[in-house]
Structure 1
């Protein structure tokens, strides 16, 4: 019995599905079991029965579960099959997981973004597993000629309760698949879960550990060409002329082509192409005013004082509340543009053929990649196939399809299969950034220190609505005004992990600490009072769950020993995003006169936790991501050109700068909500509020390490 070949396109195994007569193309994905090194083999799927879009069962009892959504490190390729396997009642050791290709007929929402995959697919996945389980039960009962009610399932077996007779799923699969698919099936109670809520290792771990091909950048097909693209050196420039004489004469170079504002060099190896692209002689000319890519402070100041705003929410009489206030607190918070910086730079494979297009690579939006390709080439979307690889990070960058379309354009021009690869410098200087934003906050307090008025104005660069007007403390303040101003910049921006809230949460939660201090109240108690007020006498719409927010606050207060530790400065933050709630406490101690962040506690309510290991890693990863970018990341521009092009000038967090992280989950039976992003937003404020307690220095701008008095902070 031979194992599957490496996942090159020419070596894809064509797996016959017995019930449909069709073909399924798949990679050599490792078994889901953490205890066995067995891998998917041709024998494993010989005669396999396809029960539905999500699973098939082979005669030997091995269950193959297809994971349709892109895997970007959020653990979806493990979590999705766990949900199916739970309802199917199969032994996890006998489960193989395969990445499904794009198929809009079989699957919905094949997207990795917005922390919405589990929330969207929870019931669908459960029903897929439960439906197959019911059909297997009926097949067993039919064979024994007993009522279905007398039978049960357990770890891939159908068991007759009275006689103790057993049949494996593999033995029953063929007959079960011939039965009518039940329209209504009973799902398990949460209390009966045996797999969900346990610890399961990531199904790709074995490949990751030994470096087997898995990511888009690993993909290789014999005969394909490599391409690198020279893009304008600054935003606001357009291509004027190009001299490619030297490049075309170099060894291994097959072509140099131009399209839109780009020049692509195509050749037989990345090294040959890299040397050739460096030899190009290119001239650019101005296409737009480049001042708006540099003088951001002036732009922010002008727009913050603009009267041309978009009102997002207004409750009560804000003007009167501030006029009669006993005290008014006003502050501004600002963040820079930052890069997505995924470990795996952008890359994609495209083969434009006379009658079809083949796409393979790392994408968070495979359907968008297909549709944009079809639009570009003026062909039907059905003529475009998309196969997904695992992604070495995306954080929103791979929601876009620009790098996919580059591969399509080049392949179409040179009439050959092409893999476009970006260098790290390409990725950082020609990519899509988190928008720069400035917020102005104002709070009105009465004589008793109660918050009676609240204003927030956001100015964003290509960010659309840079607020979340219905998030806390909206609904807890009688008089509230939230508005925005938008600036259109030549700098391309896009979703960055936890879009908008990645900085807004810091600004809101740090400002609430300022208000609590002015009111002479404990920061935690101040927020709890506001939540109680929102529940007792809400103002306008309440679009967050007050009880769930309080639950994470109380849990993190308990676990961190809030306010009870000597020599430790604690900072608090709580946030609601992607339908989940996360509260955090940061701890800072002074060492040799410098503040040192030693620990972060986190309490999360994301409903039912699918995989405790994966969930914990998501929380910890989000915290490290949020901390590192709040502390260090900064992308600046001069005349439209990014001033940082690699990690020697663009600062990321280092391993020795990561504090201890302790994670706790609120246990409940609520359907799962987002987890890939919600832990990032509250981190900045928890750390900044702790640093204030330790140093007396308010941090209102990011990155923290560049602010006055923060040199040497760690």
Structure 2
């Protein structure tokens, strides 16, 4: 149970006073947990390199080129994928070059980023790719050395014959090895022999990012391309009339076109287009139901109390359990719409030339971008190429291809290469949001405080199934009823980091604390008792691993000294999502009679940690994201249009509002199970439960800062 979080603070911050007496904070970008290895990236594939499989090639110089197929949006896949290949290859990490692969449905499966599934899906494939090349290199060396292959070993880019002391570098063997037939089966390393996996490795693109090299979609430039920006209608509205005279008069604007329900301004650069777009005079009229936040509040109340709902799970006799209960606890929790708000707004390049199309840009789903474009233009998908740039964030927003299709449609209309760019306001007002949801929870307790019945009804706006009916505590309670109701709306929604569970976990874990309090039981022990029941006599289907969940709960209690310091008020939360388990404890201390959030302890079971540096970033980033949106994020609507259009009104968490985050991992040796999302869901519940412990105020709606229960407690946040 090693703690992988130790970091030298001097490697992170450099603080100096400015001439004006203010505070300047700079970053030592080159610092990391351990500068043990370094990856050098190449923009060009080495000309003489020999391909061994879809994932790697090796040149006669010994340079190893590893192709990373999945889009990189900050989850560190461009570093961790090559680490897995290089591990089984026994490569010299100093000679590894990493290249982002373009879309190729023949070479790669699941070439997308979403659902924290990239590493679980590719883990064995990547290992086999490296091991296969290693097998061929050893076979070639055996022939050259005239020895049996079983007498050879590999290390650091060399094949070694220990008995004679002979060594041959991979570069010397690559030509002969590339001519051999790959075996159907290869032997993979025992994890105890890993040399690269499990060591902290810096992001392979650090230097390029920090020196401003063109990496992102917004950086892409093609000589002769036109730029475009689009004015989109409010949700539920359609265009009635357009007056574009003032927009056309702006220098640098070459065309204004109306297509479908949009108005696009086209020109030579984005700045005149931004000015021109504001001068468009567009009159809209309803095209169905136009909604406001007031309407949603009314709908939630009606649908929670309605007679119609889809039953997602039913175990036992729920009616009898609640009828005979000694005590029934009922609570409602609600969350708002949220914007994805990636740092890089949506953008894409498209060049339509007859029945051929070139697409370049940031997408989490390159194959969807290709297929949607093919459907729009009525051409075969294989006529379309997709070059994947680095993504400046995504969080699920770039799973959609609406911005790609817009670029392609404009390119065809203008008969020219088009670079489409969304402004921040476009991103927030024309986005596809985290659905707004309200939940009603009910728990039935017997005279001994045991939970004998559990009911949940979720009502979501374009949320699909707003529950995760097979997650804990399902399977641990004899009588369960879980229902879902969906309201269809013109407001577009989309997967938002840790879909549904990003809020459901907070609501469930806060409610379980309410139940534990009513049962007069410790919140941690209350959960452990339920899990013990699920292990001994599970009810219905179990889709979570009871032992793994128990493991992270006990580890979090141990690492946080749960309940052992009377001066520390603690809130607990645990959740299973995306195949992984995360338990968190938030610590609040009272200073001058005011609550101060000082630390969040996070314990994660995600199987083998490929890269501790990247893993720590994912866990800490997920916690900051989860806490920030629980406390501050809110998107409200008026007449089909978000009232929050930029960061001046859409509140994000600030650096000074992040407490100390202490990260630990369960080391059980199982294959990796995903880490991009699982750390986010438990955070809101841990913080809310700690606030209740410290102040007696139960927070049942997000964002916290807009709740009357929160307004007068004046929570402060400081690093411990």
Determine if the TM-score, normalized by the shorter chain, exceeds 0.5.
Answer: yes
Is residue 246–residue 280 contact of structure 2 (8 Å, CA) maintained in 1? yes
Q: CA deviation at 1:320?
A: 0.3
Q: CA deviation at 1:595?
A: 2.1
Work out the CA distance in 2 between the residues paired with 1:626 and 1:523: 21
Q: CA deviation at 1:248?
A: 2.3
**Aligned ranges for residues 11-410 of structure 1 at < 5 Å?**
40=42, 45-232=46-233, 234-291=234-291, 294-410=294-410
Work out the CA distance in 1 between the residues paired with 2:572 and 2:355: 58
Shifted more, 249-258 versus 262-271: the winner is: 249-258
Q: CA deviation at 1:246?
A: 2.6
Work out the CA distance in 1 between the residues paired with 2:41 and 2:310: 56
Is residue 42–residue 99 contact of structure 2 (8 Å, CA) maintained in 1? no
Q: CA deviation at 1:236?
A: 0.9
Is residue 293–residue 491 contact of structure 1 (8 Å, CA) maintained in 2? no
Is residue 39–residue 97 contact of structure 2 (8 Å, CA) maintained in 1? no
Shifted more, 69-78 versus 246-255: the winner is: 246-255
1:700 aligns with 2:695: no
Work out the CA distance in 2 between the residues paired with 1:125 and 1:461: 40
Change in 2 beyond 3 A, CA 1:129/1:307: same
Is residue 103–residue 388 contact of structure 2 (8 Å, CA) maintained in 1? yes
Instruction: Tell me what 2:14 maps to.
Output: none
Change in 2 beyond 3 A, CA 1:80/1:508: same
Instruction: Tell me what 1:15 maps to.
Output: none
Instruction: Tell me what 2:616 maps to.
Output: 616
Instruction: Tell me what 1:550 maps to.
Output: 550
Return the TM-score normalized by structure 2: 0.93
Work out the CA distance in 2 between the residues paired with 1:212 and 1:537: 57
Q: CA deviation at 1:596?
A: 2.0
Q: CA deviation at 1:316?
A: 0.3
Q: CA deviation at 1:663?
A: 0.3
Q: CA deviation at 1:222?
A: 1.5
Change in 2 beyond 3 A, CA 1:130/1:358: same
Q: CA deviation at 1:38?
A: 5.5
**Aligned ranges for residues 631-650 of structure 1 at < 5 Å?**
631-650=631-650
Work out the CA distance in 1 between the residues paired with 2:513 and 2:293: 33
Deviations 1:210-249 (A, max 9, x none): 11111111111121111000111x2111011212223223
**Aligned ranges for residues 301-700 of structure 1 at < 5 Å?**
301-700=301-700
Q: Could you say what secondary structure the match of 1:682 adopts?
A: helix
Q: Could you say what secondary structure the match of 2:697 adopts?
A: coil
Q: CA deviation at 1:373?
A: 0.3
Is residue 292–residue 489 contact of structure 1 (8 Å, CA) maintained in 2? no
Change in 2 beyond 3 A, CA 1:363/1:141: same
Work out the CA distance in 2 between the residues paired with 1:583 and 1:577: 11
Q: CA deviation at 1:401?
A: 0.5
Work out the CA distance in 2 between the residues paired with 1:196 and 1:690: 36
Is residue 552–residue 604 contact of structure 1 (8 Å, CA) maintained in 2? yes
Q: CA deviation at 1:568?
A: 1.2
Q: Could you say what secondary structure the match of 1:709 adopts?
A: helix
Q: CA deviation at 1:35?
A: 6.1
Shifted more, 266-275 versus 103-112: the winner is: 266-275
5+ long unaligned stretches in structure 1: 1-31
Change in 2 beyond 3 A, CA 1:67/1:249: same
Deviations 1:342-364 (A, max 9, x none): 11111111111123100000000
Deviations 1:61-91 (A, max 9, x none): 0100000000011011111100000000012
Q: Could you say what secondary structure the match of 1:369 adopts?
A: helix
Work out the CA distance in 1 between the residues paired with 2:125 and 2:570: 43
Change in 2 beyond 3 A, CA 1:540/1:693: same
Instruction: Tell me what 1:16 maps to.
Output: none
Is residue 33–residue 203 contact of structure 1 (8 Å, CA) maintained in 2? no
Work out the CA distance in 2 between the residues paired with 1:654 and 1:33: 28
Work out the CA distance in 1 between the residues paired with 2:703 and 2:248: 44
Change in 2 beyond 3 A, CA 1:535/1:46: same
Is residue 567–residue 589 contact of structure 2 (8 Å, CA) maintained in 1? yes
Q: Could you say what secondary structure the match of 2:506 adopts?
A: helix
Q: Could you say what secondary structure the match of 1:469 adopts?
A: coil
Q: CA deviation at 1:448?
A: 0.5
Q: CA deviation at 1:293?
A: 5.3
Q: CA deviation at 1:537?
A: 1.0
Output the aligned Cα RMSD.
1.3
Change in 2 beyond 3 A, CA 1:571/1:38: closer
Work out the CA distance in 2 between the residues paired with 1:702 and 1:272: 39
Q: Could you say what secondary structure the match of 2:364 adopts?
A: coil
Shifted more, 473-482 versus 203-212: the winner is: 203-212
Work out the CA distance in 2 between the residues paired with 1:49 and 1:429: 49
Q: Could you say what secondary structure the match of 1:656 adopts?
A: helix
Shifted more, 472-481 versus 279-288: the winner is: 279-288
Is residue 59–residue 171 contact of structure 2 (8 Å, CA) maintained in 1? yes
Work out the CA distance in 1 between the residues paired with 2:293 and 2:446: 42
Work out the CA distance in 2 between the residues paired with 1:118 and 1:577: 15
1:713 aligns with 2:720: no
Q: Could you say what secondary structure the match of 2:710 adopts?
A: coil
Q: CA deviation at 1:403?
A: 0.7
Q: CA deviation at 1:470?
A: 0.4
Q: CA deviation at 1:566?
A: 2.6
Q: CA deviation at 1:292?
A: 5.8
Deviations 1:454-485 (A, max 9, x none): 00000000011000000001010000000111
Change in 2 beyond 3 A, CA 1:583/1:665: same
Work out the CA distance in 2 between the residues paired with 1:641 and 1:261: 15
Work out the CA distance in 2 between the residues paired with 1:136 and 1:579: 36
Work out the CA distance in 2 between the residues paired with 1:563 and 1:539: 31
Q: Could you say what secondary structure the match of 1:710 adopts?
A: helix
Is residue 459–residue 487 contact of structure 1 (8 Å, CA) maintained in 2? yes
Deviations 1:241-283 (A, max 9, x none): 2122232233222211111100101000111111222222211
Deviations 1:500-532 (A, max 9, x none): 000000000000000000000000000000000
Is residue 41–residue 204 contact of structure 2 (8 Å, CA) maintained in 1? no
Is residue 337–residue 435 contact of structure 2 (8 Å, CA) maintained in 1? yes
Change in 2 beyond 3 A, CA 1:461/1:538: same
Is residue 34–residue 93 contact of structure 1 (8 Å, CA) maintained in 2? no
Q: CA deviation at 1:624?
A: 0.2
Return the TM-score normalized by structure 1: 0.94
Work out the CA distance in 1 between the residues paired with 2:570 and 2:695: 12
Q: Could you say what secondary structure the match of 1:45 adopts?
A: coil
Change in 2 beyond 3 A, CA 1:418/1:34: farther
Work out the CA distance in 2 between the residues paired with 1:33 and 1:98: 21
Q: Could you say what secondary structure the match of 2:495 adopts?
A: coil
Work out the CA distance in 2 between the residues paired with 1:634 and 1:250: 35
